[in-house]
Amino acid sequence: MASKDIQVPDLGNFHDVAVIDVLVKVGDSVQVDTPLLTLETEKATMDVPSPEAGVIEALLVQRGSHVSTGTPIATVRLAETAAASPAAPAAPAAPASAAAAPSAAAAAPTATGSAAKGATAAAAAAASAPSKPAAPAVPPTPAAVAAPAQLPPINEAGFSRAHASPSVRKLARELGADLSRVRGTAQKGRISAEDLKAYVKSVLTGGGAGGAASSSALPRVNIPDFAQFGPTEVKPLTRVRRITAQRMHASWVNLPHVTQFDEADITELEQTRQTLKDRAELAGIKLTTLAFVVRACVRALQRFPDFNASLDESGENLVLKQYIHIGFAADTPQGLMVPVIRDANRLDIYETARALSELAQAARTGKLAGSQMQGGSFTISSLGGIGGTAFTPIINAPEVAILGVSRAAMRPVYREGGFVPRLMLPLSLSYDHRVIDGAAGARFAAYVASALSEVSQLIEAVP
């Protein structure tokens, strides 16, 4: 029977992605779509399914390895039905060492994984918002002393935000040094290898054990032993929740958030949606209120391009995006994921609804590709199906704004001398105050509310 190498599928812009679990072993029988590996990027975890049915002859990667698109991961002896058709010749055993090489040269891990599980993806470290944690002022020297056990413990959240290259992060991990305690002296405050070595030498020679750094860093929350108060149970966070926690913390600490509240009258919108719902269902489309919100946001982003932008690394220039890719928060059993509707400005209401449904389903079933969570320029977080009257969504950095949507409710609204029942939808717009001032935030929220009340413009064909 013929054999075939299985390769990592397209991961989009992610490279050197960490293998955090190997789900099969040599000799296992697999079917098409049987998960082989679990990979972790800074945004999500994903399983790599087998494209062939057969028996695992060799595993070319292991837990802790780093892979990219096209990396060989296993050799499968094809089932007889598959072997009868032409197959690619089996690769020699050499790929095992070839796969190990990227692992050895992979960039440093990030805060999303524990040390016991090995290195995690360098992409997460690169995507983390740069920051400049304070540390003792130590002149850089080329000397290095490696004695990790004597160094202060690593603050994983601070480590992930430190402004350092992958090679410096890797060296810091090898030395057991906390980058959040190191002051960078390179361009734009970046931490160099010399800065890191100087810090390690200073600590190990008694020049400073991190106490001074701790006093100028963010205060730590004191965590008591909760068991002293009564029975407890420790439940580890899922990988997705750990990643989300790190990214949200980085956004909240680095971006000055302001939240603008408004509400939209969607009485006519809901009547129109009910009218179109049956027609949409015949085409296999679930027409939700969120689809109309996406269309309204597209119109607002076209009117206010600063909301469809990001600050560059220097923080001195605004990058205006000529595309509109809208992300939306999807609640999954593993945690929050943000699929992205690409070129949302080119989709009509039905195409938008279909994209929402398909991406949400892929997120819930763990089949969302890394490329489907990249490139967002604006995000919508909708809690309308659950409840609430308002909330303060955290910006999905490096975006500059996010719209929160709560549950619509029928309320009395004063119109033309009397109160009338109207279906009102609460909106919560959070924005980066470095880019957007209060007046612009209020105008954007008001425009979205106005667009939702003019439903005819939301369902018209996209030019």
Residue 321: count of CB within 10 angstroms of its CB: 15
Structure-token pair, residue 3: 């054999």
Say if residues 213 and 134 touch (Cβ distance below 8 Å). yes
Closest CA to 179 of 389, 390, 192: 192
HSE (side-chain half, CA atoms, 13 Å) at 387: 0
Residue 265: count of CB within 10 angstroms of its CB: 18
- Rounded to 10 degrees, the C-alpha dihedral 195/201/205/211 comes to 40
The residue annotated as part of the active site, out of 15, 257, 325, 433, is: 433
Structure-token pair, residue 144: 């290095």
Residue 294's contacts (CB-CB under 8 Å, 6 or more residues apart) are 326, 328, 341, 344, 352, 356, 380
* Backbone conformation region of residue 26, classed left if phi is above 0, alpha if psi is from -120 to 50, else beta: beta
Q: In what order do the strands lie in the sheet with 45-49?
A: 45-49, 35-40, 17-22, 66-67
In eight-state DSSP terms, residue 73 is E
Residue 134: count of CB within 10 angstroms of its CB: 16
Report how far residue 257's alpha carbon sits from residue 357's, in angstroms, rounded to the nearest whole number. Answer: 30
**H or E stretch including 290?**
helix 289-303
Report how far residue 423's alpha carbon sits from residue 379's, in angstroms, rounded to the nearest whole number. Answer: 24
Known catalytic residue: 257? no
Closest CA to 261 of 393, 130, 170, 385: 393
Crossing angle (nearest 10°) for helices 438-453 and 267-282: 60
**H or E stretch including 97?**
helix 95-105
Residue with token string 């390895």: 65
Report how far residue 423's alpha carbon sits from residue 429's, in angstroms, rounded to the nearest whole number. Answer: 19
Peptide bond into 398 cis (omega under 30): yes
* 3-state SS track over 303-329: HCHHHHEEECCCCCCEEECCCCCEEEC
Report how far residue 432's alpha carbon sits from residue 171's, in angstroms, rounded to the nearest whole number. Answer: 34
Mapping DSSP to helix (H, G, I), strand (E, B) and coil, where does residue 411 land?
A: strand
Report the first-to-last Cα separation within the chain, whole angstroms. 54
Active site residues: 433
